Amino acid sequence: VYITWADEGGSGGTCPTPTPLGRPKKTTRGKKGGKIGGKKRKKKILFKNKTKQIKSTIKQTEWADKLNGNEKYTLFAPTNEEFEKLGNDKLQELKKPENSAALLSIIESHIYAGELDKEMLVSTGVLPPSVNGKTYPVQRKNNRFFIGNARPTRNPEYAGNGLFYVIEDVLQ
Protein backbone atom coordinates (compact mmCIF):
# COMPACT_ATOMS: atom_id res chain seq x y z
CA VAL A 1 0.00 0.00 0.00
CA TYR A 2 1.39 3.38 -0.93
CA ILE A 3 0.61 6.96 -0.07
CA THR A 4 -2.20 7.51 -2.50
CA TRP A 5 -3.96 10.59 -3.78
CA ALA A 6 -7.68 10.79 -4.29
CA ASP A 7 -10.13 13.61 -4.47
CA GLU A 8 -13.18 13.75 -2.28
CA GLY A 9 -15.66 11.15 -3.36
CA GLY A 10 -12.95 8.69 -4.41
CA SER A 11 -12.07 10.13 -7.80
CA GLY A 12 -8.48 10.90 -8.56
CA GLY A 13 -5.39 8.86 -9.16
CA THR A 14 -2.87 6.97 -7.16
CA CYS A 15 -0.43 9.54 -6.11
CA PRO A 16 2.06 10.55 -6.26
CA THR A 17 2.30 9.29 -9.81
CA PRO A 18 0.36 11.72 -11.97
CA THR A 19 -2.66 9.95 -13.41
CA PRO A 20 -5.70 11.30 -15.14
CA LEU A 21 -8.48 12.26 -12.78
CA GLY A 22 -11.44 9.97 -12.82
CA ARG A 23 -10.41 6.41 -12.08
CA PRO A 24 -7.95 5.61 -9.31
CA LYS A 25 -4.96 3.50 -10.23
CA LYS A 26 -5.24 0.11 -8.58
CA THR A 27 -2.63 -1.15 -6.14
CA THR A 28 -1.97 -4.78 -5.38
CA ARG A 29 -0.30 -4.51 -1.99
CA GLY A 30 -2.05 -4.57 1.34
CA LYS A 31 -5.69 -4.71 2.25
CA LYS A 32 -8.03 -1.82 2.76
CA GLY A 33 -8.31 -1.12 6.47
CA GLY A 34 -5.41 -3.43 7.32
CA LYS A 35 -3.12 -2.94 10.29
CA ILE A 36 0.64 -2.62 10.10
CA GLY A 37 2.66 -2.09 13.26
CA GLY A 38 -0.51 -1.83 15.36
CA LYS A 39 -1.71 1.25 13.44
CA LYS A 40 -4.62 1.19 11.02
CA ARG A 41 -3.29 1.70 7.50
CA LYS A 42 -5.35 3.09 4.67
CA LYS A 43 -5.08 2.01 1.10
CA LYS A 44 -5.71 5.61 0.03
CA ILE A 45 -5.11 8.94 1.71
CA LEU A 46 -7.92 11.26 0.68
CA PHE A 47 -6.75 14.68 -0.37
CA LYS A 48 -9.90 16.57 0.23
CA ASN A 49 -10.46 19.97 -1.28
CA LYS A 50 -8.41 21.56 1.49
CA THR A 51 -5.10 19.98 0.36
CA LYS A 52 -5.32 20.08 -3.45
CA GLN A 53 -2.57 22.72 -3.74
CA ILE A 54 0.14 20.44 -2.31
CA LYS A 55 -1.14 17.64 -4.51
CA SER A 56 -0.74 19.72 -7.66
CA THR A 57 2.69 21.09 -6.68
CA ILE A 58 4.07 17.63 -5.86
CA LYS A 59 2.90 16.42 -9.26
CA GLN A 60 5.15 19.11 -10.81
CA THR A 61 8.27 17.68 -9.13
CA GLU A 62 10.28 14.47 -9.16
CA TRP A 63 8.63 13.57 -5.83
CA ALA A 64 5.49 12.39 -7.56
CA ASP A 65 7.34 9.22 -8.53
CA LYS A 66 9.60 8.94 -5.48
CA LEU A 67 6.70 8.92 -3.03
CA ASN A 68 5.23 5.98 -4.88
CA GLY A 69 8.27 3.79 -4.19
CA ASN A 70 9.06 1.38 -1.37
CA GLU A 71 10.76 3.94 0.88
CA LYS A 72 8.82 5.18 3.93
CA TYR A 73 8.07 8.92 4.10
CA THR A 74 6.17 11.36 6.25
CA LEU A 75 4.39 14.16 4.42
CA PHE A 76 3.25 17.36 6.14
CA ALA A 77 0.61 18.77 3.77
CA PRO A 78 -0.36 22.44 4.17
CA THR A 79 -3.96 23.38 3.51
CA ASN A 80 -4.86 25.33 0.38
CA GLU A 81 -5.59 28.33 2.59
CA GLU A 82 -1.99 28.31 3.83
CA PHE A 83 -0.62 28.15 0.29
CA GLU A 84 -2.88 31.08 -0.63
CA LYS A 85 -1.24 33.15 2.13
CA LEU A 86 1.94 33.03 0.04
CA GLY A 87 0.05 35.18 -2.48
CA ASN A 88 -1.28 34.33 -5.90
CA ASP A 89 1.61 36.11 -7.65
CA LYS A 90 4.20 34.06 -5.75
CA LEU A 91 2.32 30.81 -6.40
CA GLN A 92 2.15 31.56 -10.13
CA GLU A 93 5.88 32.42 -10.17
CA LEU A 94 6.76 29.16 -8.40
CA LYS A 95 4.86 27.16 -11.02
CA LYS A 96 6.97 28.54 -13.87
CA PRO A 97 9.61 26.13 -15.23
CA GLU A 98 12.46 28.53 -14.45
CA ASN A 99 11.47 28.46 -10.75
CA SER A 100 11.35 24.69 -10.41
CA ALA A 101 14.26 24.68 -7.90
CA ALA A 102 12.40 27.06 -5.57
CA LEU A 103 9.20 25.01 -5.84
CA LEU A 104 11.14 21.82 -5.21
CA SER A 105 12.72 23.37 -2.09
CA ILE A 106 9.30 24.22 -0.65
CA ILE A 107 7.92 20.74 -1.41
CA GLU A 108 10.99 19.03 0.05
CA SER A 109 10.56 21.01 3.29
CA HIS A 110 7.34 19.01 3.79
CA ILE A 111 8.76 15.53 3.09
CA TYR A 112 10.69 13.48 5.64
CA ALA A 113 12.33 10.08 5.29
CA GLY A 114 10.76 7.45 7.52
CA GLU A 115 7.63 7.45 9.64
CA LEU A 116 7.59 10.35 12.10
CA ASP A 117 5.06 9.52 14.79
CA LYS A 118 3.62 12.48 16.70
CA GLU A 119 4.64 11.26 20.17
CA MET A 120 8.21 10.61 19.05
CA LEU A 121 8.42 14.08 17.55
CA VAL A 122 7.13 15.79 20.69
CA SER A 123 9.51 13.82 22.91
CA THR A 124 12.59 14.71 20.82
CA GLY A 125 11.60 18.38 20.38
CA VAL A 126 12.87 18.69 16.83
CA LEU A 127 12.11 17.18 13.44
CA PRO A 128 14.94 15.27 11.83
CA PRO A 129 16.12 17.01 8.68
CA SER A 130 13.63 17.05 5.81
CA VAL A 131 14.74 15.54 2.52
CA ASN A 132 16.28 18.92 1.65
CA GLY A 133 18.07 19.21 5.02
CA LYS A 134 15.82 21.72 6.79
CA THR A 135 14.88 21.21 10.44
CA TYR A 136 12.04 22.66 12.47
CA PRO A 137 11.40 22.67 16.21
CA VAL A 138 8.58 20.51 17.51
CA GLN A 139 6.73 21.64 20.60
CA ARG A 140 3.53 21.34 22.52
CA LYS A 141 1.77 24.65 23.29
CA ASN A 142 -1.52 24.76 25.20
CA ASN A 143 -1.88 21.02 24.72
CA ARG A 144 -1.40 21.37 20.93
CA PHE A 145 1.39 19.98 18.80
CA PHE A 146 3.38 22.39 16.52
CA ILE A 147 6.08 21.93 13.88
CA GLY A 148 7.72 25.31 13.65
CA ASN A 149 4.63 27.53 13.47
CA ALA A 150 2.52 24.87 11.75
CA ARG A 151 -0.13 23.03 13.72
CA PRO A 152 -1.31 19.65 12.47
CA THR A 153 -5.09 19.75 12.17
CA ARG A 154 -5.50 16.16 13.34
CA ASN A 155 -3.54 12.99 14.05
CA PRO A 156 -1.60 11.52 11.14
CA GLU A 157 -3.13 9.14 8.66
CA TYR A 158 -1.18 5.93 8.14
CA ALA A 159 -0.49 4.50 4.70
CA GLY A 160 1.57 1.48 3.75
CA ASN A 161 4.69 3.53 3.10
CA GLY A 162 4.34 6.44 5.48
CA LEU A 163 2.39 9.02 7.41
CA PHE A 164 0.36 12.00 6.25
CA TYR A 165 -0.30 15.09 8.39
CA VAL A 166 -2.43 18.09 7.36
CA ILE A 167 -0.84 21.28 8.73
CA GLU A 168 -1.79 24.93 9.05
CA ASP A 169 1.30 26.62 7.58
CA VAL A 170 3.71 26.27 4.68
CA LEU A 171 7.15 25.17 5.89
CA GLN A 172 9.89 27.20 4.17
Res 18 pLDDT > 50:
no
In terms of C-beta density within 10 A (0-12 exposed, 13-18 middle, 19 or more buried), how is residue 40 classed?
exposed
Mean pLDDT computed over 138-144: 87
pLDDT at 40: 58
Q: What is the pLDDT of residues 85-115, one digit of tens each?
A: 999 899 889 889 999 999 999 999 999 999 8
- Alpha carbons 101 and 33: distance in angstroms, whole number: 37
Q: Is 31 left (phi over 0), alpha (psi -120 to 50) or beta?
A: beta
Q: Give the pTM.
A: 0.73
